[in-house]
Structure 1
Amino acid sequence: MASEAPSSSSLSMPGVLALRVKMVSSGLLRLVTVPARLRRWDGAPTVFQDVLFATIRAMFKNMTIAQSRSMFKGTTETHLDLCRETKQTPKSITLDEVVAHWIGDEDADIVVFYLHGGGFSQPCTLGHMQYLHRLVTDMNCLGGASIAVLLPAYTLVPDAIFPTQLKQVATMLLHLLQQRNRDPSRIMIAGDSAGGNLVFTLLSHILHPRADVPRITLTSPFRAVFVFSPWVSFSTNFPSVAENAGKDILEHSMLRRWAAMYVGTADGEGPVSRTLGGDAYSEPLLADASWWQNMHTVAQQIYVWAGANELFVDSVRAFFDKLRLGWVNGGGAPQRVVLSVAAEEPHIGPIMDVMYGHKEKSESQYALEAWLREKLV
């Protein structure tokens, strides 16, 4: 099983300190320029978010992989932290190719097979897991079918490139279907950002099997699919990338760099002007609408969420149009594939709310939970 992080010998503490200085400087600059920007505000909805998001963008723009590994724990270690925080016994599935971690009761009625985001280069954060734990807890209080999350800790770039991640999640999903005897109707597939990309890569593989990835044959469609802010295009030429540059947490040069690393066309971690090498599997927007025909035989329903203030919103809309056209032309009912674009929300807004400590749920979180509740009857 591949390691989740490089060895500590590759880490540079002076580099990490310099990165943190850049982050703090960017946040302070954003704060002190608030009065000058008020008349033509182009930032996040609140000053707190505006400053925080500027700090996050500075991190993404300047952070190397080695620095990120010294700053953030791996997915497996973070899962142990979540279990300590929630006073639960850690439970995982360990295969030769990959490990996956349970959030909730592994004997729950429905398993949410969740693929985490992070640009394929970053581990799952504690905020992601806290969001998923709250979602599981709250859904299970409603009296319908119970749910639990199974979260694969797939190998990150640059330790492995596409299609390794697809092979790993396909292998774990097959284990769930065959060794754990889970009927597809008792499985939901979900993910965010790069994990949302990987969700559609996995669904593409089921519809159009690749010879180099374990084949998955379904006896029935998955109960549902839901994704937050899926990274469906590696292009940074969409209008929303420029229009939302000061409103979102994402930064365009980082996106090109990490995408190139994922598809294997990067030259180290140097600047990338345009990401080349994607295909219908690794970059879902490149697939024609016809590619998605018969998707209703793979998933009963699909829910796609995007924030109106995120860089990805235009590419998500363009992708959804193709997905919905293919879905309908293939015989799927149009009302069973849904796009929700939330006003003034950033990338992975429902998860970000948890990350920066919002106690009350947003409208987006309530909307997803209402949609999920109908699927648990």
Structure 2
Amino acid sequence: MAQKGPSPGFLSLTYFFADIAFAAVTRALTYPLRSRRVPNFYQDVLFAAIRTMLNRITIAESRFIHTLTTQGYLDLCKKKGMKPKTTHINTQDGEVLAHWIGTPDADVVELYLHGGGYTQPCSDAHLEYLHRLVKDMNESKQTKSFALIVLAYSLAPEKTHPTPLREAAATLSYLLHEGGKSPSQILIAGDSAGGGLTLSVLSHLRHPHPQVPAVKLSEPLLGACVYSPWVDFRTDSESFDRNAKTDVLGRRCLHVWGAMYMGKVKGDPEADPGYQAIGGDSYTDPASNDITWWHGFHNVIEDMLIYAGANEVFVDSIASFQKEFRKGWGQGGGQDERILYIESPNEAHVQPMIDTLFSPKVKSASQIAIEEWLKAGIESSSRIH
């Protein structure tokens, strides 16, 4: 589990924030002159600031500046007037915490794996989005109650793959056994790196990782939902150039974080090693798998939703991945209509979460589509009792 580190130093932080401010101001001043831009002026400027921050930030700066996942959850509870509910999960790597939004005895529970390049904690925007999702799902006309459990999994570089996979698998096992849930009552979801980790867990359920305790299912999980999943460590797809100025991500941070997660850091850990140095495997780089890897995945999950923003750098790799996943799913006996792919126009990486910063009370089309998919899957399942 990541810990707060020492201060990176006054000068380092000064340069860090100065670079972010300069990027934002420059982006604002040049907005009318550019043909390729985010349609919303404020989002365009914010994305430039976030993009600069992510490509500039070091682990020392991140650990000093950002609130870690557990503290972020406690802050959310205080803000929303919720009583914190935390489950302690024992793994072979030690104890990991999982935090509830909603009641643990809900009819349906979603295991949520947050994004952040495997190195960053769950953000306030994520927690706000997830809190609103639980609230709105339970206030809708659906007959089954809904809750989330957010795993504060260990971050790189302090911990590397497959530690987070072991922690996520252990949490799923907890829900199935100590938590008393049947597979038909469990969804698994994640965004960005958390989406990649979600796919790692699904792969582990079908092809047990030799370093991770197996999790056996008596029936398929209710479903899986991945928002802008990190499916490929390569950064040479055309969308990395096409969407370089309309997204929040850039190549450098992805190279650095990917190498940290895979334990491939050599020399300066903050230096850009290039994607060739990362070396993913079948669990961390799912887009590299042959379609036969996905045969029989309808025995792991009943339904699948894959979201991508048309303005994000990942969109080409996500679109390609979902096509290959769909082929393997179908060849292995799964029904094509059980997979839904949403590619939202004019949206960036994990835009459903980012939108909570701009419009906390107004839902975007993609937010509504994801919520409706959840409701439809929960209500239509005859396996939930």
Q: TM-score, normalised by structure 2?
A: 0.94
On the 8 A contact 2:5/2:64 being kept in 1, the answer is no
CA distance in 1, matches of 2:5, 2:87: 24
Aligned equivalent of 2:118 = 120
- Pairs within 5 Å for 1:239-318: 239-267=238-266, 268-274=269-275, 275-318=277-320
- Residue 177 of structure 2 aligns to a residue whose secondary structure is helix
User: How far has the Cα of 1:369 moved from its partner?
Assistant: 1.2
On the 8 A contact 1:4/1:75 being kept in 2, the answer is no
The counterpart of 2:99, out of the listed 90, 101, 104, is: 101
Matching residue's letter, 1:12: G
User: How far has the Cα of 1:357 moved from its partner?
Assistant: 4.1
Aligned equivalent of 1:356 = 358
Q: Does 1:180 align with 2:179?
A: yes
Matching residue's letter, 1:20: F
Deviates more, 1:335-344 or 1:169-178: 169-178
CA distance in 2, matches of 1:271, 1:49: 27
Note the residue ranges of structure 1 that are not aligned, 5 or more in a row.
none
Matching residue's letter, 1:286: S
Aligned residues: 371
Note the residue ranges of structure 2 that are not aligned, 5 or more in a row.
380-385
The counterpart of 2:49, out of the listed 33, 45, 55, is: 55
Matching residue's letter, 1:107: D
Q: Does 1:215 align with 2:214?
A: yes
CA distance in 1, matches of 2:145, 2:103: 9
Q: Does 1:91 align with 2:91?
A: no
- Residue 166 of structure 1 aligns to a residue whose secondary structure is helix
On the 8 A contact 1:247/1:346 being kept in 2, the answer is yes
Q: Does 1:22 align with 2:16?
A: no
CA distance in 2, matches of 1:248, 1:149: 28
On the 8 A contact 1:12/1:66 being kept in 2, the answer is no
CA distance in 1, matches of 2:243, 2:122: 25
- Residue 328 of structure 1 aligns to a residue whose secondary structure is helix
User: How far has the Cα of 1:23 moved from its partner?
Assistant: 0.2
On the 8 A contact 1:118/1:124 being kept in 2, the answer is yes
Q: Indicate how the Cα distance of structure 1 residues 178 and 277 shifts in structure 2: closer, same or farther if over 3 A, else same.
A: same
On the 8 A contact 1:293/1:328 being kept in 2, the answer is yes
- Pairs within 5 Å for 1:37-52: 37=34, 41-52=35-46
CA distance in 1, matches of 2:235, 2:214: 32
CA RMSD of aligned residues (A): 1.1
Q: Does 1:13 align with 2:10?
A: yes
Matching residue's letter, 1:70: F
Consecutive aligned runs of 4 or more in structure 1 exceeding 3 Å deviation: none
User: How far has the Cα of 1:70 moved from its partner?
Assistant: 1.4
User: How far has the Cα of 1:5 moved from its partner?
Assistant: 2.2
User: How far has the Cα of 1:358 moved from its partner?
Assistant: 4.3
Aligned equivalent of 2:76 = 82
Alpha-carbon displacement from aligned partner over 1:208-237 (angstroms, at most 9, x marks no partner): 011210100000100111110000001110
CA distance in 1, matches of 2:101, 2:236: 37
Aligned equivalent of 2:143 = 144
On the 8 A contact 2:4/2:64 being kept in 1, the answer is no
Aligned equivalent of 1:163 = 162
Q: TM-score, normalised by structure 1?
A: 0.96
Deviates more, 1:142-151 or 1:287-296: 142-151
- Residue 287 of structure 2 aligns to a residue whose secondary structure is helix
